[in-house]
């Protein structure tokens, strides 16, 4: 296991830091997974809390948190650049998002996990529920975790 320090931060500078998140998402979801760009960016991005992960100052991972009116929060758009996977970056982003949700008083975090990524989220304490469904041509299952 590579022990290179991973730093995570909540994006506060929308112009520059969010541009890094958007670039990582474009590379992973649009270029690698073939998700249409018009679906990748959506109206929730402007209100969401975004996390950016860096390794030695280089932006390598991201994810977002959308607070819901029913008191839950939805985690999404989790992406790590391919060459940086398997070193704990995704886990660090997930933990930062969960911690942020807790600070906002959220008791339950939910997400739609791509089937191949379910073991990653299970590793982070999430449990799958419900049937498989298709979103942007990719099979998903809902997952949740009690965090409060």
Stretch of 38-46, 87-95, 101-109, 125-133 contacting ligand COA, by CB under 6 A: 87-95
72 pairs with which residues across the strands? none
Contacts of 125 (CB under 8 A, 6+ apart): 145
For the chain, give the number of residues.
Answer: 148
Q: Could you say which of 20, 50, 87, 145 contacts ligand COA (CB under 6 A)?
A: 87
Does residue 144 interact with ligand COA by CB under 6 A?
no
Across the chain, where does the E strand assignment appear? 6-10, 49-55, 58-67, 73-80, 108-114, 127-135, 138-146
Does residue 79 interact with ligand COA by CB under 6 A?
yes
CB of residue 115 vs ligand COA: minimum separation in angstroms? 9
58 pairs with which residues across the strands? 55
Residue (47 or 83) nearer to ligand COA, CB: 83
Residues of this chain that bind ligand COA (CB under 6 A): 28, 78-80, 85-91, 113-114, 116-117, 119-120, 123
């Amino acid at each position: 296991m590579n022990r290179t320090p991973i730093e995570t931060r909540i994006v506060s500078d929308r112009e520059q830091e969010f541009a890094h998140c958007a670039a990582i998402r474009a590379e992973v979801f649009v270029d690698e997974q073939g998700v249409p760009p018009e679906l990748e960016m959506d109206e929730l991005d402007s209100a969401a809390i975004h996390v950016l992960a860096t390794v030695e100052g280089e932006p390598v991972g991201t994810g977002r948190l959308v607070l819901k009116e029913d008191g839950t929060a939805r985690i999404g758009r989790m992406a790590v650049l391919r060459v940086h996977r398997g070193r704990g970056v995704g886990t660090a982003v997930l933990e930062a998002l969960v911690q942020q949700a807790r600070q906002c008083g959220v008791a339950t975090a939910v997400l739609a996990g791509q089937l191949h990524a379910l073991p990653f989220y299970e590793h982070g304490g999430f449990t799958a529920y419900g049937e498989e469904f298709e979103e942007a041509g990719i099979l998903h299952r809902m997952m949740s975790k009690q965090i409060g």
